[in-house]
Amino acid sequence: MNDKLMRYLDGVFSPYEDSHRVKELKEELYVYLQEKLSDFKNQGHDDETAYRLTIDSIGDVKEIIESISAKTKELQQVIRHDLSMNNLQDADLTGVSVREGKFDASALKGSDFSTSGLSNSSYKCSDLKNVRFDGADLTGATFNMSDLENVRFNGADLTGASFNMSDLKNASFDGANLTEAKFSMSSLGNASFKNCILDNTKFSVSDVSGICFDNLTLNNTLFDKSSLTGTSFRNAVLRNVSFKISFKTKKSISKAIFDGATMDKLTYAVLKGLNADLTNVTVI
């Protein structure tokens, strides 16, 4: 019966095993439960019933572990998982916390990371096709050379996140916070940016052709050597938006749509110099 108690505690403590204080708590609880179990047996309960009563009475053990976790640095480390080279296809990881987690070269196709805490996590050469990151905390996350086709980042916090050389075809960033986020050398064909925050967001050497930024407010957003054919800014507000156009992308800007947009004088002047079509634009 005591072995059974130990196995029960092993299971409960398995995510926390690394810390000394947690080990001590486990030992303390083990002795506690043994005494409780033997009391139940002395009251005339058989082994199985005594075990069940003991386990049932313990309440939420996680609450106890978490009461010591707040000040224990060691505990923080166990969540800095290295999940590189793992196959987590179609996994349900909603609400998990893997801060500074590494998902390099992982197959995460179809996984669900909705509302997860993934700040500063990294994804390198990973297959993230169809993954859901809705509402997740991805501040400072890095996505390098990853396949992000059809990925959903709706409502996610992507402050300071970076996307390098990644394929973001049909990705959805609706309602996401992309403050200070960087997209470089990425392909964004058909990605959706409805109601998202694009303050200080950088699009460098990325293909934003056909992307719709309608009705958005763009503050200090940078389009550096980006291809803008058919990119639409209808009724958008552009403040200090910078378009650094290379020889290759220069022609594309005349095919961008600014119908009904509002912009500051400088942005207007720069766009005018680049032969953008600025009919129906309001200058503020």
Partner 1 sequence: MVDNKVSSDLLRGHTDTMILKLLMNGDKYGYEISKLIQANSKSEYELKESTMFSSLKRLENDGNVTSYWGDETQGGRRRYYRITEKGKGTYFDNKKNWEHAKRILDQLL
Residues that bind partner 1 in the complex, under the rule CB under 8 A: 24-25, 27-32, 34-36, 57-61, 63-64, 67-68, 71
Considering the complex, state which of residue 22 and residue 178 has its C-beta at the smaller distance from partner 1: 22
Q: Whole-number minimum distance, CB 63 to partner 1, in Å?
A: 4
Considering the complex, state which of residue 28 and residue 82 has its C-beta at the smaller distance from partner 1: 28
CB 228 within 8 A of CB 249: yes
Q: Whole-number minimum distance, CB 30 to partner 1, in Å?
A: 6
Residue 244: strand pairing partners: 224
CB 241 within 8 A of CB 228: no
Considering the complex, state which of residue 53 and residue 278 has its C-beta at the smaller distance from partner 1: 53
CB 108 within 8 A of CB 55: no
Considering the complex, state which of residue 54 and residue 139 has its C-beta at the smaller distance from partner 1: 54
Q: Whole-number minimum distance, CB 3 to partner 1, in Å?
A: 13
Q: Whole-number minimum distance, CB 49 to partner 1, in Å?
A: 18
Place of tokens 């950088």: 202
Considering the complex, state which of residue 29 and residue 171 has its C-beta at the smaller distance from partner 1: 29
Q: Which of 23, 25, 29, 21 is nearest to 73 (CA)?
A: 21
Cα separation, 117 vs 229, whole angstroms: 36
Considering the complex, state which of residue 68 and residue 105 has its C-beta at the smaller distance from partner 1: 68
Write the DSSP assignment of 140-190 as a string of letters: T-EEES-B-TT-B-TT-B-TT-EEES-B-TT-B-TT-B-TT-EEES-B-TT
CA angle 132, 134, 138 (to 5 degrees): 95
Q: Whole-number minimum distance, CB 66 to partner 1, in Å?
A: 8
Is 279 in a helix, a strand, or coil?
coil
Q: Whole-number minimum distance, CB 43 to partner 1, in Å?
A: 13
Q: Whole-number minimum distance, CB 78 to partner 1, in Å?
A: 18
Phi then psi dihedrals of residue 75, to 5 deg: -65, -35
Considering the complex, state which of residue 20 and residue 265 has its C-beta at the smaller distance from partner 1: 20
SS3 content of the chain, % helix, strand, coil (to 5): 25, 20, 55
Residue 272 CB coordination number (10 Å)? 11
